[in-house]
Chains A and B, each alone.
Chain A
Amino acid sequence: MNSNSNSYIFIYSVVMVVIVAAVLSTAATVLKPFQEQNKKNEKMSSILASAKIESTAENAEELYNKYITKELVINANGDIVGTYANGELDGDIRAFDVNIKTEQFKQGKGEDFLSPLYLCDYNGEKYYIIPMLGKGLWGPVWGNIALEADFNTVAGVIFDHKGETPGLGAEITTSAFEDQFVGKTIFKENGEFISVKIQKGGAKTLPANMQDHAVDAISGGTITSDAVSHMMKSCLGNYVEYSKKQK
């Protein structure tokens, strides 16, 4: 058959595409469980890291089950609508499976939304761990923040991002930036929610009574810094009602 005839070319491409599609979809199906497990491990590792618990891909799940004692799902009014502890689920959904992006979308439309909260018990200390998600300069930024048992003092925080500028905005993932948050408080002394602000020019430029609620921004990374600031304020804000009900 003439290999330059139209029908040959047509048949050739159809056969080639079908074979390639079959190979690729088989590979994708076979590898899917491994990839899902990797994503899960990364999420667990990041939750643990905010409370300063180091883990690797291998032991993330084990440590997570050991130290994260309870997962709560909270609605917009601050009521607990789901609890997951010791492998038993009470409610519709596990906090671990709550998709924050979808919940933020619901929140934006004014509907009821869910917020996940992790309770961690590490070396006798209790931590509340709150996942956060926001919009950075080039793509999403996210992170986890661990609050001490008073639901006010920051015990640790961890950030990550999709594609912030290396050397500038991407510096939010460095421990030099993250460690600044430790010991800051998210409520004013009169109990008003304020979050932790990332201050351009440095926290020192603020009045003394505000310095407990601010950290230094990154030089040259103003938009990313503002994004993280905004992310913390809006995400932590969803738990204010819950924390009031606890007291």
Chain B
Amino acid sequence: MSEQVQEKESLFSAKNRKLITNAIGKDNPITVQVLGICSALAVTAKLEPAIVMSISVLFVLAMGNVVISLLRNTIPQRIRIIVQLVIIAALVILVDQVLKAFAYEVSKQLSVFVGLIITNCIIMGRFEAFSMANKPWPSFLDGVGNSIGYGMILVIVAFFRELLGSGTIFGWHVFEAIGLYEIGYKNNGLMILPPMALITVGIIIWVQRSRNPELIKD
């Protein structure tokens, strides 16, 4: 868990780069650690909210990791979970307020799910597992890496759900433009419902595991 980061290490040393690439690939929070599934189901019916959600998580996780890392030697062990939660909650409320002020339409679509970033397991997980024991810069990279890993899956799922469920990309009618409806194609309403997000995530996990034997246990 806690690695000794050497002094005078370059900002993008191999070890630091790994913090990002691992989180995107073989240590992906959604497909490998299976965290944060709840929000992955809820906000992926359309691409736009999925992207805004990813950016919100990126902000909360990267900032939170840095703050926790800076405070890590002062936080009393017995109330560390409470301290972590207060910091997450504060950042999430900040994000929510900013969205309501500057991205009102999107904030209405995301509704409660911005608030539910507080309970996103990825964030607590990274605080406990990484930033409590590492310096601010690696913690920042770890936060960025994990949120990209999370956001990437969200965007992939949202892409397929929006395309197959509503026939649009970012609200632009793709299938109508290429005339697919005229030959009898119909949108699959099932793709809009949450279960199909789970199945899409399942397919992504399947693809990832079949390409990376390291991930297969037994």
Contact = CB atoms under 8 A, between A and B. Distances in A.
Q: Tell me whether chain A's interface is mostly helix, strand or loop, or mixed.
A: helix
Interface stretch (B33-41, B47-55, B82-90, B151-159): B82-90
A8 B74 CA distance: 10
B3 to A, nearest CB: 23
Interface of A: 3-4, 8-9, 12-13, 16-17, 20, 23-24, 27-28, 31, 34-35, 38, 41-42, 57, 166-167
Contact of B74 (A3, A38, A167): A3
Interface stretch (B7-15, B21-29, B91-99, B127-135): B91-99
A13 B85 CA distance: 12
Q: Tell me whether chain B's interface is mostly helix, strand or loop, or mixed.
A: helix
Contact of A24 (B79, B93, B100, B189): B93
A38 B101 contact: yes
A42 B97 contact: no
B176 interface: no
Contact of B76 (A3, A17, A57): A3
B121 interface: no
B85 to A, nearest CB: 11
B104 A38 contact: yes
A28 B104 CA distance: 15
A34 B97 CA distance: 10
Nearest to B98: A31
27 contacts: A3-B74, A3-B75, A3-B76, A3-B77, A4-B78, A9-B78, A12-B74, A12-B75, A12-B76, A12-B83, A20-B87, A24-B90, A24-B93, A27-B93, A27-B94, A28-B97, A31-B98, A31-B101, A34-B100, A35-B97, A38-B101, A41-B104, A42-B104, A57-B104, A166-B192, A167-B189, A167-B192
